[in-house]
Structure 1
């Protein structure tokens, strides 16, 4: 099985080290960033309290891991020069709001004006995985096949239990915020790229979306690159979490491509069951019951991840990443996702914990896992 190329975009929060208050210093931080890996880049996000690192196009997990590490290190050093810390969290943890944020530029200003207060307090940080596909119609067909598995990826990434000092009771407050917007959740089934674009254009014309490049669907054909973009995950607490999202996402796309070659159609998903599956992952992370939206039944998180691993097994083995994925999934089930780690740290310790865990220390690809 040939494995597609892939790359990752990670969004981070810039915060005061003493209390986690978001700091609107993105331009200063980006100006301080040193050398990145070839093809990698850093960007501003919707709020001036956020920055993004995008890797280059990668072919192996080892190459991607190296770029993820270098990006986090470069941004954390630049943040320190600006008097703040880089936090890998899906939502702000400090009790205070930032003050004096500059007016967002260009397209971001249009988004603020379009959505009003829905966007005003939106400081959500996600992890987007791009996986290469041959053409736009194939991208749409792949997205149809991905829908069933996206809630499991969300649960595995959950890393936003707090909302400015308040425990929300959810494991992904970021996803709860995201679902307030139109054009969110599982991507509607489309038979072709032309049909997909007709739907997007209709949503723009009806005022639900700002433009063709802005939806909140959890996966879609990228409007800019020859990729499928999976945008389901909270930004993971660690490099290992981001790497796991990437290798599972690529394996899902490779499996979908293989199924398409065999003429296997994507299973139909009732929209309400799809919403229930996203909600269960948002609420429980890996701590409770998830939902299989195809079989219309609940199942424990461990069983859902076991099914995901079985489904992607041939692709993971073809890439030499099955043992790595298995090990990282077991660690997440044992130790909890970022949301559980944040709650364990508590309000007084969460900022220091996030600052320490965001910066990479121990390599995920230890001796003995490469090439397996």
Structure 2
């Protein structure tokens, strides 16, 4: 059993799962063609000179020169998180326009089939050498949520509790149906592209931080990971922060969608912490059934069939979403987020995921999809406003 205690260097909000942060990855696309453009360095340089309304938010390069990232600081409320997300998008979108590009939040490019230059830096170069052709045009983008935990043993135990819910978080975020201008038939093509890398998907059940660290070290030693920071699992203990990092979601279209992922992720972590405090460890679940759940979520999104990880049978993905919401309702009530989350979930279920919005826009051609994505990326919507 994991004993929950607060080390002296970790503040209480982090230790009890109240603190969170979000990293959003974006694409830079040409307005006239919709093709990815490698202007990340210029966009980041210009954006860094723009006054930040949220000083804790930071901007970063990503693997390829067609991608940029905005990371919030540590937040304890959805309102603060929303402010920081909007600020990162505002600064990057304005800089992108000034450099003749569109900032787009999407799991994978709608158009484009040419290899892209890797961003500068020794680590990026090592990644390119290690994975070769896999990363030559790897422009997948995600929405990553960090939630605070007291220590690494607790982080590993929390990840064990998260495993069953990761396909549902993916299904709710699906926002990448296209590749090279064609509809792949998948709600999240990003997830399929990521499966080219070694490992990935739902993380393995690990009994301790020591066991987790040993597994990652062996994978590095085997040459399939460049270092301990580069695991491909959909949730993992952070390598450098006192957090659990949830990486299931596609880069989502709107700030509402990003805040929804953060609110659900925080509620799942807080529920896991409560379970562990009560002495309840995560149940062992079949890895192949969980993999089937990920595939179904990637294929169909939230509007199709899913796989129940405990009953090991097909069920509607919305039923799995209902189970998730019931599971985290006490945590959402405690944080005051329940009404906002229910409203946002209803909006996705009735109005469609990002993939559904893209497919509707595609009736007017792929360039219409690109411009819709750019518009949604900068849309200031309502969740988290007091």
Determine helix, strand or coil for the equivalent of 1:146: helix
Q: Which residue of 2 aligns with 1:62?
A: 79
Following the alignment from structure 1 to structure 2, what is the Cα–Cα distance between the partners of residues 364 and 189? 34
Residues in 2 aligned to 1:197 and 1:24: alpha-carbon distance in whole angstroms = 36
- How far 1:240 sits from its partner (Å)? 0.4
Deviation at 1:103?
Answer: 6.0
SS of 1:365's equivalent in the other structure is: coil
Deviation at 1:183, TM superposition (A): 2.1
SS of equivalent residue, structure 2 residue 82: helix
* 1:49 counterpart = 2:63: no
Q: CA–CA distance in 2 between the matches of 1:16 and 1:205? A: 41
- State the match for 1:78 in structure 2: 95
- Counterpart in the other structure of 1:284: 300
Superposed displacement of residue 102, structure 1: 6.0
Query: 2:9 aligns to what?
Result: none
- State the number of aligned residues: 366
Task: Please list, as runs of the form range in 1=range in 2, the aligned pairs for 1:131-170 lying within 5 A after superposition.
Answer: 131-170=147-186
Task: Encode CA deviations 1:114-165: one digit per residue, 9 max, x unaligned.
Answer: 1111111210000100000000000000000000000000000000001121
Q: How far apart in 2 are the matches of 1:52 and 1:153?
A: 21
Question: Deviation per CA, 1:166-203, whole angstroms, max 9, x where unpaired?
Answer: 21110111110111111201111111111101000000
2:56 to 32, 39, 44: 39
Q: Deviations over 1:264-290 (max 9, x none)?
A: 110111111011010000000112101
Give the one of 342, 348, 352 matched to 2:358. 342
**Residue 348 of structure 1, CA deviation:** 3.7
Aligned to 2:290: 274
Distance 2:380 2:281 in 1: 43
Q: Work out whether 1:193 is the aligned partner of 2:209.
A: yes
1:1-372 to structure 2, matched below 5 A, reads: 3-33=17-47, 34-36=50-52, 37-95=54-112, 97=114, 101=117, 104-346=120-362, 347-366=366-385, 370=386
Shift of 1:11: 0.0
Question: Equivalents in 1 of 2:290, 2:226: separation in Å?
Answer: 24
8 Å CA contact retained: 1:146, 1:253: yes
CA contact (8 A) 2:107 2:251 kept: yes
Q: Unmatched 5+ residue regions in structure 1? A: none
Structure 2 spans left out of the alignment, 5+ residues: 1-12
Counterparts of 2:255 and 2:322, CA distance in 1: 22
Cα shift at 1:239? 0.3
- Aligned with 2:303: secondary structure? coil
Q: 1 CA distance for matches of 2:55 and 2:280?
A: 38
CA distance in 1: counterparts of 2:101 and 2:180, whole angstroms: 17
Instruction: Tell me how far 1:35 sits from its aligned partner.
Output: 2.5
Cα pair distance change 1:121/1:98, threshold 3 Å: closer
